[in-house]
Chain A
């Protein structure tokens, strides 16, 4: 409880220190005070006509002027504000009580409620709220209190859904089980955990519902279907509308009031939502979250071990990455670096491994070569030279020429990397037409040939299939076909077998090896699996915490690995060998 309390207190503080938050709260509070106090202290009666002040402009006597019956507009507006806010509260309270109670009951006790509630929701959704309210006024007669209570019922599904889904979710979480074991009763579990979780979303929802209630209420009153003898915003609009030609200023006061309150409520809701998202659990940090000083200390302690480079010097270097650093905005104006000082060299036709556990920065390194870092990410230092050309910071034009035709990419998860809305054929043919500048017919026959080559049975039918109609293994073959389709110089394969079944993994690796040999394409293989590396690579770079910690030829790494982390990775693949050693944490952790 104390934990929940603390977060909600700090949330309230954050909303109130946010400029938009404090502005919206102040406006709403000011109108509430306006509605409470002005009718008490005003010298004017909101309802008594005064023929001599009919349609007067604002003056010292009548601050907002007087309407056609000579009534003081300022006092009437205050009276209307009081009435409208009170009736709108009825809608909100009814909606909360109905929605939260049914949501709690349904979420906590029953699954069958799911169907019933979705049916009721669709029935309610089948009619615009205004039509339902008109129908109710037809039989009940014009009363804003009843109308708003009915509207509250119509709005309750919003709360129901909120509470219901939260309860279903929270119920399955461990801490409720733990609370049950601890012997707490159901009601106390609900009280302590679930209401704590849904409190902030309910506040957001309430501000929204209140603004909708105000809109619909003034609409009904404007139509002349509200309480006839009570001043209200809508009634004022109705009277002012009759005078829109000769005294339009009367329309201004209630309109501005409604607009200001509605906008404030929505801004308040948005601010709470934004602050809630900001106070939510922080994203897991990419590199373990250490201070710069600690990082530097680590770097010094873990000096990278570079074995003598014995690669064929006769082959031309096609990719040279030097001192590469990749960073993301850290949310407070600074840059959080996830890749530090990475050097990487690939010769023509060579297979180079980039190995490390998830979060080690290997995928970020690969994406920066492709110029396709996720939103926000950018190369903050270093250079990437491809076929003699510096490509860091190059424009879209340069990259569009390199990608596909020179450097291509094989992703990890085959299914999500095919566009579900287009056929396999379209997705293979489209890039080929663009990159190779060939006709659709030519590209199609090439694509069929490629599918055949990567081992897809009946390639012609597969061309017409959508991604969901083929298996994950076949999808990965399609993606490999796509990667080699435009005769690239370098293929970047990011965990190409990780998402596949074990039996398919070996086949896909064989295919990659064959294709690589056949076409003499260089391959940068990004993986966490030393088994895959051992199979294919000529040269290996081991990454940890965004740095390369050991690099060397495949023989050196397997026979003479010096870095404790490399040794540990190696040990983890040696079957039947001695028992695994202790986990070697990076120094400084």
Chain B
């Protein structure tokens, strides 16, 4: 088990390195364009060259990368181009808010999906069709449309929740709830849709296992077999979707935060993109990749812990 963990951690670090190198490389392939994008079409070639020098873009690529990497391992992600501040100073406080929203959403989505998926698989019939239909709509309709709908209905027409802004939980728990409810619901919608279908599938598979029949032949009731044995065995496959969900929600949160004016990573990602702030975007890429890889690692370890074959080896 220990070697398994070490292997996965090493693999994750290697992956992080690969992602950072590749994105740095690809972004610097296009970086020749950046000074021009920043200065506009009227700028002279001299001004562009001057800007490139200022930004350090005239140095060899490998120097730039090693320089960046040396800082990154100490969590120093350089200075932003679009504002007079260090990238890490800007990103880390915002990361806390985004992580909070995304984690709550993942939790909500998984709980609802487990209930819906299990009920659909066990009872079948009309309930099953309804869950499948929700799954289809949730999969097809982009989350930000759901956000518009929720904002228009539950913040503007019926002002139950806040349409914009964010209050810290420690400042005012009630206002906090009013500010995060709609973003979480909007973000959770598509997650619930795809996750409930996955749970439904894995519960259905587990229900068809031979041991389910054998346990029932020993006198255990259907419910008991479902709640103890079927759910336990479908937990593994269901768990693996949390990782995928989390990645999707991190992307979706950029849009949702912009819509609800939540000061997370979303708004800064949008403004940094518009202003060609490469260090900020590199920081964002690194942080996102770190979270995703860490999440996958956690999911891997949890599924290993659930599976006696892996746990005991």
Residue numbers of A with Cβ under 8 A of B are: 119, 122-123, 125-132, 134-142, 211, 214-215, 218-219, 222-225, 237, 241, 244-245, 248, 251, 255, 258-259, 262-263, 265-267, 270, 367, 370, 372, 374-375, 396, 400-401, 403-405, 407-409, 411, 413, 416-422, 427, 430-431, 434-435, 466, 468-469, 479, 482-483, 485-486
Interfacial chain B residues near A248, Cβ < 8 Å: 152, 156
A-B contact pairs, 8 of them (CB 8 A): A136-B26, A139-B29, A224-B270, A224-B274, A244-B148, A367-B213, A400-B221, A422-B232
The 10 closest A-B pairs by CB, nearest first: A404-B219, A128-B251, A139-B30, A409-B217, A431-B218, A215-B142, A130-B251, A266-B140, A262-B140, A416-B210
In this assembly, does B281 line the interface, its C-beta being within 8 Å of a C-beta of chain A? Answer: yes
In the complex, given contacts A128-B288, A431-B218, what are 7 additional A-B residue pairs having Cβ atoms less than 8 angstroms apart? A127-B247, A135-B273, A251-B148, A263-B137, A403-B219, A418-B211, A419-B211
In this assembly, does B127 line the interface, its C-beta being within 8 Å of a C-beta of chain A? Answer: no
B264 CB, min distance to chain A CBs, angstroms: 13
A420 touches B233 (CB 8 A): yes
Interfacial chain B residues near A258, Cβ < 8 Å: 141-142, 145
* Complex interface bits, B10-38 against A, C-beta within 8 A gives 1, otherwise 0: 00000110110011001111110110010
With beta carbons under 8 angstroms apart, the residue of A223, A468, A469 that contacts B255 is A223
Interfacial chain A residues near B254, Cβ < 8 Å: 128, 130-131, 134, 223
* Complex interface bits, B207-238 against A, C-beta within 8 A gives 1, otherwise 0: 01111011111111110100011001100000
B140 touches A265 (CB 8 A): yes
Distance, CA A486 to CA B37, complexed state (A)? 80
Given contacts A122-B15, A215-B142, contact A139 B27 (CB under 8 A): yes
A482 CB, min distance to chain B CBs, angstroms: 6
B144 touches A219 (CB 8 A): yes
Q: Kindly specify which of B61-69, B108-116, B165-173, B305-313 makes contact with the partner chain.
A: B305-313
A263 touches B251 (CB 8 A): no
Given contacts A128-B288, A372-B216, contact A123 B211 (CB under 8 A): no
In this assembly, does B176 line the interface, its C-beta being within 8 Å of a C-beta of chain A? Answer: no
Distance, CA A129 to CA B255, complexed state (A)? 12
Interfacial chain B residues near A419, Cβ < 8 Å: 209, 211, 215, 229, 232-233
B156 CB, min distance to chain A CBs, angstroms: 6
Q: Looking across the interface, which residue of chain B has its beta carbon closest to that of A125? A: B247
Interfacial chain B residues near A262, Cβ < 8 Å: 140-142
Interfacial chain A residues near B22, Cβ < 8 Å: 123
With beta carbons under 8 angstroms apart, the residue of A131, A259, A267 that contacts B251 is A131
B142 touches A218 (CB 8 A): yes
With beta carbons under 8 angstroms apart, the residue of A127, A140, A141, A265 that contacts B289 is A127
In this assembly, does B5 line the interface, its C-beta being within 8 Å of a C-beta of chain A? Answer: no
A403 touches B292 (CB 8 A): no
B104 CB, min distance to chain A CBs, angstroms: 18
B40 CB, min distance to chain A CBs, angstroms: 11
B210 touches A123 (CB 8 A): no
With beta carbons under 8 angstroms apart, the residue of B31, B218, B309 that contacts A435 is B218
Given contacts A251-B148, A372-B216, contact A417 B140 (CB under 8 A): no
Distance, CA A112 to CA B158, complexed state (A)? 59
Distance, CA A128 to CA B251, complexed state (A)? 5
A147 CB, min distance to chain B CBs, angstroms: 11
Q: Looking across the interface, which residue of chain B has its beta carbon closest to that of A130? A: B251
A466 touches B306 (CB 8 A): no
B159 CB, min distance to chain A CBs, angstroms: 12
Q: Looking across the interface, which residue of chain A has its beta carbon closest to that of B293? A: A126
Interfacial chain A residues near B214, Cβ < 8 Å: 409, 411, 417-418, 479, 482
A469 touches B312 (CB 8 A): yes
Q: Looking across the interface, which residue of chain B has its beta carbon closest to that of A404? A: B219
Interfacial chain A residues near B149, Cβ < 8 Å: 255
B141 touches A244 (CB 8 A): no
A2 CB, min distance to chain B CBs, angstroms: 35
B217 touches A408 (CB 8 A): yes
Q: Looking across the interface, which residue of chain A has its beta carbon closest to that of B249? A: A128
Given contacts A127-B292, A270-B136, contact A468 B211 (CB under 8 A): no
The count of residues in chain B whose C-beta lies closer than 8 Å to any C-beta of chain A is 77
Q: Looking across the interface, which residue of chain A has its beta carbon closest to that of B233? A: A421
Question: In chain B, residues 103-141, which have Cβ atoms closer than 8 Å to a Cβ of chain A?
Answer: 136-137, 139-141
Given contacts A138-B281, A241-B148, contact A263 B217 (CB under 8 A): no
Interfacial chain B residues near A244, Cβ < 8 Å: 148, 151-152, 156
With beta carbons under 8 angstroms apart, the residue of A128, A141, A259, A270 that contacts B141 is A259
Question: In chain B, residues 276-294, which have Cβ atoms closer than 8 Å to a Cβ of chain A?
Answer: 276-278, 281-282, 284-285, 288-289, 292-293
Distance, CA A420 to CA B206, complexed state (A)? 11
Distance, CA A353 to CA B156, complexed state (A)? 74
In this assembly, does B79 line the interface, its C-beta being within 8 Å of a C-beta of chain A? Answer: no
Interfacial chain B residues near A486, Cβ < 8 Å: 218-219
In this assembly, does B195 line the interface, its C-beta being within 8 Å of a C-beta of chain A? Answer: no
B136 touches A263 (CB 8 A): yes
Given contacts A255-B145, A468-B309, contact A417 B15 (CB under 8 A): no
B127 CB, min distance to chain A CBs, angstroms: 16
With beta carbons under 8 angstroms apart, the residue of A137, A259, A372, A434 that contacts B217 is A372
B156 touches A403 (CB 8 A): no
* Complex interface bits, B143-184 against A, C-beta within 8 A gives 1, otherwise 0: 011001101100010000000000000000000000000000
B148 touches A219 (CB 8 A): no
Distance, CA A224 to CA B309, complexed state (A)? 50
Distance, CA A485 to CA B16, complexed state (A)? 54
Given contacts A139-B276, A420-B233, contact A404 B145 (CB under 8 A): no
B255 touches A219 (CB 8 A): yes
Interfacial chain A residues near B288, Cβ < 8 Å: 127-128, 131
B52 CB, min distance to chain A CBs, angstroms: 13
In this assembly, does B269 line the interface, its C-beta being within 8 Å of a C-beta of chain A? Answer: yes
Q: Which of A134, A139, A259, A403 has the most CB of B within 10 A?
A: A139
Q: Looking across the interface, which residue of chain A has its beta carbon closest to that of B34? A: A139
Distance, CA A427 to CA B232, complexed state (A)? 14
Distance, CA A244 to CA B164, complexed state (A)? 12
Distance, CA A245 to CA B252, complexed state (A)? 24
In this assembly, does B99 line the interface, its C-beta being within 8 Å of a C-beta of chain A? Answer: no
Interfacial chain B residues near A404, Cβ < 8 Å: 217-220
Interfacial chain B residues near A421, Cβ < 8 Å: 229, 232-233, 306-308
Interfacial chain A residues near B141, Cβ < 8 Å: 258-259, 262-263
Distance, CA A584 to CA B26, complexed state (A)? 72
In this assembly, does B263 line the interface, its C-beta being within 8 Å of a C-beta of chain A? Answer: no
B211 touches A126 (CB 8 A): no
Interfacial chain A residues near B201, Cβ < 8 Å: none
Distance, CA A421 to CA B232, complexed state (A)? 7
In this assembly, does B272 line the interface, its C-beta being within 8 Å of a C-beta of chain A? Answer: yes
Distance, CA A255 to CA B233, complexed state (A)? 40
Interfacial chain A residues near B211, Cβ < 8 Å: 416-420
With beta carbons under 8 angstroms apart, the residue of B140, B289, B292 that contacts A259 is B140
Interfacial chain B residues near A265, Cβ < 8 Å: 140
Interfacial chain A residues near B148, Cβ < 8 Å: 237, 241, 244, 251, 255
A54 CB, min distance to chain B CBs, angstroms: 21
Interfacial chain B residues near A485, Cβ < 8 Å: 218
In this assembly, does B250 line the interface, its C-beta being within 8 Å of a C-beta of chain A? Answer: yes
Interfacial chain B residues near A418, Cβ < 8 Å: 211, 214
In this assembly, does B259 line the interface, its C-beta being within 8 Å of a C-beta of chain A? Answer: yes
Interfacial chain A residues near B136, Cβ < 8 Å: 263, 266-267, 270
In this assembly, does B240 line the interface, its C-beta being within 8 Å of a C-beta of chain A? Answer: no
